[in-house]
Amino acid sequence: MSWSIPKYEVGCLFFLALSFFFSPLAKSNTPIYYEYEITVMDESGLPLIGVHVYTEDHQKVNVVTDLDGKAILKDLQYADIVHFSYLGYQKLSLPFYKIRSLGGIIILKPEVNQLSEIVVIGRRDDRPEEVPFQVKNIDQKEIAFVNPQTSADALSSLGGVFVQKSQMGGGSPVIRGFEANRVLLVVDGVRMNNAIYRNGHLQNAITVDNSILERMEVIFGPGSLMYGSDALGGVVHFRSKDPKLYFGDKPGGYLMEGGAYTRFSSANEEKTIHADLNYGQKNWGSLTSFTFTDFGDLRAGSKRPKGYETFGQRRYFIKRKGVDQRLENVIVHRDSSTTPNYDLQVGTAYSQMDFLQKIRFQPNEKVYFIGNFQYSTTSNVPRYDALTDTLGSAKELKWAEWYYG
């Protein structure tokens, strides 16, 4: 016995099978036209206020949670993706059917970035526009162009900073009328002075080797927020160069570069010699710098305005040879004749030596360590204004010696 199914019945069965197979898809594309309440909480069960809840188009849903951590979702389809964003917590994205399966309870996990305790001793590398004070920089090229004898001389080339220099071995920066214990001097994040260091002028700026400086930063304004106390008038930050590494592809390659110069100045018979050497490999580098300077006595200009022909002349000075001897400032020739040498400021000469050694170790692209050793020393630096004090006449000098140290 044989039988057959009519063609129209086969078509109906096929249509029903397709309808049954694609029914979930049809359901997923069907809008759900009702409001669905959700609650966003943290891991401890406390509601999160102000969580941004939105869909990708920011049109179907774009709300924030209220004081109870609740929000209303409207007109969502079965597979619509809902995003949850909150400051300090990990962003979460869930399809609507998953939200329903959770009963509308959304748990956000905190985004933990725990930092170890640090001590801030210097300014961050903020952009100038983010610092609420006027900031000026003197970079390496400008320092080389000015060719200053000391860092104090380089600082004086910057507008807005007055450098008090009553003698050749001086150089006290004055910012906004503040000086000494109200202006903070910093070298690579290390303080050079504090509020109880001393009153009056501060000459430490000359002990910084300008030959190895990357730049000098001057912050006009109270810098206590970034540097701690003692920066009421402003901050002068001396930043030295860092060792350079080798970034080439050659196996075993290295970077080596150096510089050297000598300088002579006739006004004070300055004689300076400097040399520096940088050696760097892929993960570590070294920078060595040495500078020695010998300053003679400063000579004043001989041209003076009318009525001030003797102003600033050094007619007499005291020399110590067991006992104090007052001598006239003259040049003695071979025939025992003399020539006045009153423009020579006897008692201004001194010498200085600076040494720097930096080691840089960089195990990866994001982390590096720098060891920084700096040594600077001077001979006794005479205080010239005290050496010219008199008890009455020009011959009666008050002091034979007066040194800064």
Are 261 and 378 within one domain? yes
Residue 74 pLDDT level (bands cut at 50, 70, 90): confident
Are 205 and 267 within one domain? no
Question: Which of 92-96, 148-152, 204-208, 267-271 shows the lowest per-residue confidence on average (mean pLDDT)?
Answer: 204-208
User: Within a domain: residue 112?
Assistant: no
Say which CATH number the domain at 225 has.
Answer: 2.170.130.10
User: Within a domain: residue 120?
Assistant: no
Q: Which of 197, 216, 240 is the last residue of a domain?
A: 240
Are 91 and 194 within one domain? no
Q: What percentage of the chain reaches a pLDDT higher than 70?
A: 83
Tens of pLDDT, residues 90-115:
999 999 999 999 999 999 998 877 66
User: Within a domain: residue 395?
Assistant: no
Q: What is the per-residue pLDDT for 10?
A: 46
Q: What torsion do the CA atoms of 358, 362, 367, 370 make, to the nearest 10 degrees? A: -10
Residue 51 · residue 65 · CB < 8 Å: yes
Q: What is the per-residue pLDDT for 75?
A: 83
User: Within a domain: residue 399?
Assistant: no
**Residue 122 token pair:** 């210097």
Residue 228 pLDDT level (bands cut at 50, 70, 90): low
DSSP state of 353: E
Are 229 and 317 within one domain? no
**Pairing mode, if any, of strands 213-220 and 190-191?**
unpaired
Alpha carbon distance, N-terminus to C-terminus of the chain: 128
Are 89 and 148 within one domain? no
User: Within a domain: residue 54?
Assistant: yes
User: Within a domain: residue 121?
Assistant: no
User: Within a domain: residue 397?
Assistant: no
Q: What is the per-residue pLDDT for 196?
A: 66
Q: Which of 214, 240, 266 is the last residue of a domain?
A: 240
Q: Which of 107, 138, 172 is the last residue of a domain?
A: 107
Q: What torsion do the CA atoms of 239, 241, 246, 248 make, to the nearest 10 degrees? A: 80
Q: What is the per-residue pLDDT for 137?
A: 85
Q: What is the per-residue pLDDT for 31?
A: 55
Instruction: Say if residue 21's pLDDT is above 60.
Output: no
Question: Which of 14-18, 90-94, 192-196, 290-294 shows the lowest per-residue confidence on average (mean pLDDT)?
Answer: 14-18
Report d(CA 284, CA 242) in Å as an integer. 11
Q: What is the per-residue pLDDT for 27?
A: 44
Say which CATH number the domain at 17 has.
Answer: 2.60.40.1120
Strands, E assignment, 81-212: 81-85, 92-95, 105-107, 134-139, 161-164, 172-175, 183-187, 190-191
Handedness of CA 190, 195, 197, 201 (dihedral sign): positive
Tens of pLDDT, residues 242-276:
999 999 888 889 999 999 999 999 999 999 999 99
Count of domains forming the chain = 3
Mean per-residue pLDDT for 291-311?
91
Question: Which of 149-158, 159-168, 219-228, 242-251 shows the lowest per-residue confidence on average (mean pLDDT)?
Answer: 219-228
Are 37 and 154 within one domain? no
Tens of pLDDT, residues 319-364:
887 788 888 889 889 888 899 999 999 989 999 999 999 999 999 9
Are 236 and 302 within one domain? no
Question: Which of 49-63, 171-185, 274-288 shows the lowest per-residue confidence on average (mean pLDDT)?
Answer: 171-185
User: Within a domain: residue 392?
Assistant: no
Tens of pLDDT, residues 118-132:
434 455 556 666 666
The whole-model pTM stands at 0.64
Mean per-residue pLDDT for 182-211?
82
Are 203 and 273 within one domain? no
Alpha carbon of residue 315 to chain centroid? 48
**Residue 327 token pair:** 């001598």
Which domain does 170 fall in, by range?
128-240
Shortest CA distance to 215 belongs to which of 119, 322, 143? 143
Report d(CA 62, CA 52) in Å as an integer. 7
Residue 78 pLDDT level (bands cut at 50, 70, 90): confident
Strands, E assignment, 140-283: 161-164, 172-175, 183-187, 190-191, 213-220, 234-240, 255-265, 270-280
H or E stretch at 328: strand 323-328
Sheet holding 62-64, edge to edge: 62-64, 52-55, 81-85, 92-95
Residue 124 · residue 226 · CB < 8 Å: yes
Work out the number of other CB atoms within 10 angstroms of the CB of residue 233: 23
